[in-house]
Amino acid sequence: MVFEKAWHLLKASRQTELGEFHPEFPSSYGPVTMQRSHPTAEFFENNEMERMMNEGVTASRNNPPMPVSMQQPAEQVFRQGLKPEPLSDYSRSWEEYFRERADGGDFPHAKLFNFDKPGNWFSPIRRGNVMEEFPYRARVGVRMPIKETQGEFRNKGWGYEGPEAWVTQNIPPERLVQIPDDWEYWSARPGQRTRKETEQHPNDFGQRGSMMGQ
C-alpha cells in the first residue's frame, strides 16, 4: 500500500524518488542517518498545544511561540524542505538549567553546544521514536552522512536524554524521508541487517558526538 502510493506520486513528479516515502525504499542519497519529530497539520487544527498546556506542559514551552519550523506542518516540510530556526527559549532554558545543575556537581556534564547558528534538533535513526507518546506528529528522516552534516553533536544529552544533534543547515526535500510511526530499524528486517548496513544507520554520532568531537 505504501509502495503503491509512493509509486503514483513518483510518476506524477519526476523530481521525487521512492526513498522519500519510506526508509527502506531505494534512494540515490544513501541510507537514513537521522530523524526528528515534527507536528502535522492536525496538531494545529486540533489545538494540540493548548491541550498539552492543560495537561501540564509548562507555559514556558509555548512562551514565546514555537519556532517557525515547528509551526510549519510536516506535510509542508516534506514538500519544501526543512530550514534552520533560532533556538527556542524553552530549549535554551533547558540547557541552562542542566548546565547549572552539572556545575553544582549534581550529575556529569553533557557536551556543551554553542547554538551560535539557527538549527533543528535531530536524533540518530536507530534511536527509538522518542515522541511516540505525543499525537499528531510525523517522523522526519534525513538521508545525509553524519560526517558531512553541519551542526553540533553529542552522544549523551542532559539528564536521561540520549544522543542528539543541532543541525544548522538547510535540508532539501529530496533528502527527507517519511518514516512510519511503527518503523524500527531492527524489527523492520529481523535477522537480515548486514554489518555495513548497521554502520550506515547509526545509534549515536560516533567521534563527532564525543566530548572532544566537532
Confidence of residue 99 (pLDDT cuts 50, 70, 90): very high
DSSP string of 56-75, one letter each residue? T--GGGGSSPPPHHHHS-HH
Answering whether pTM is above 0.85, one says: no
The answer to whether residues 117 and 194 touch, using CB atoms and an 8 Å cutoff, is no
State pLDDT tens for residues 168-210. 999 999 999 999 988 888 887 887 888 888 888 888 999 999 9
Specify the pLDDT at position 61: 44
The confidence score (pLDDT) of residue 194 equals 87
Q: Is the dihedral of CA 214, 34, 188, 128 positive or negative?
A: positive
User: Who's near 18: CB < 8 A, 6+ residues apart?
Assistant: 3, 6, 7, 10, 25, 26, 27
The pLDDT, as a whole number, for residue 68 is: 45
Of the listed ranges 22-36, 86-100, 163-177, 179-193, the least confidently predicted one is 179-193
Dihedral, CA atoms, 98, 104, 105, 110, nearest 10 degrees?
A: 30
pLDDT of residue 14: 44
The average confidence (pLDDT) of the chain is: 81
Is the predicted pLDDT of residue 212 greater than 90, yes or no?
Answer: no
